[in-house]
Amino acid sequence: MKTIVITGSTKGLGFALATSFLEAGHRVIISGKNQHLLDQAMQNLASHQHRVSAKLCDVRNHQDIVNLWDFATTTWGEVDIWINNAGINQQGDALWELSFDDIERVIQTNLQGMIYGTKVALQGMLQQSHGQIYNVEGFGSDGMQRRGINLYGTTKRALTHFTTACAKEASDTPIQVGLLCPGMMITDLLRDETGHIRNERQTKRIFNILGDRPATVAKFFVPHILHNKKNGAHIVWLTKRKILWRFARSSYHQRDLFED
């Protein structure tokens, strides 16, 4: 039985990963910066109550991340897998529409928080002589660019660079560092601050072809994570082959992932 810590796991992919790890018989520490959402997530995981714990954590605060590690090791002894999943989207289309506070919020959450998490997990795992760290990619990780997601994409591009470089730094240690590439998912990141889907018509069209719900992606990731022994692993859900197949059959296979 492994112990897994997941940042940003009160909803979306983080929550789906927590659920899948628990269903596979492992122990999970979920975390988030909103106490209400954290309590709600714990209620939804009540059937696994003896193997799941929760800790309030704002990844922008490095002491919160240290506290999350300490909580996990105090609760379960060691941490086998640490997943830096916490991430947010920007709240405007063009750079000149963003406030300085919004810029700081996105960079501190998506990039700085991920770096803090990787550092804390690496230090702890080196002391226990084993462990794996995974950072979650997003739009922009592969260099793609699009209006309305410039800042978010920049943080994800930097995340990929940082993680591959970090894997090289850890190559002579017993710790593995890798990337999770989830592709396009139906999450709250698609919505603006008012709750509306950004560019709704275009977004729904492309996501109904290429997108997936977080639970689908998590069920793919979890066994691959559990069986991986390779440092620098890049676990990809939406492969180029899958993209081509979905476009090819989209004219006769209609999906509506936005149905309640």
Residue ranges with strand state E in the chain:
3-6, 27-32, 52-56, 81-84, 131-136, 175-181, 234-236
pLDDT score recorded for residue 208: 79
Pairing of strands 3-6, 81-84: parallel
pLDDT at residue 192, rounded to an integer: 62
171 in a structural domain: yes
Task: Report if residue 151 sits inside a domain.
Answer: yes
206 in any annotated domain: no
The pTM of this model reads 0.93
Catalytic residue at 152? yes
185 in any annotated domain: yes
What domain range is 136 assigned to?
3-200+211-240
**205 domain-assigned:** no
104 in a domain, yes or no?
yes
Low-confidence ranges of the chain (pLDDT < 50): none
Write the DSSP symbol of residue 52. E
Structural domains counted in the chain: 1
Classify residue 73: in a domain, yes or no: yes
What CATH number does the domain containing 89 carry? Answer: 3.40.50.720
Side chain identity at 33, as an amino acid letter? K
Joined together, the tokens standing for residue 33 give: 């910066």
The catalytic position among 116, 134, 152, 252 is 152
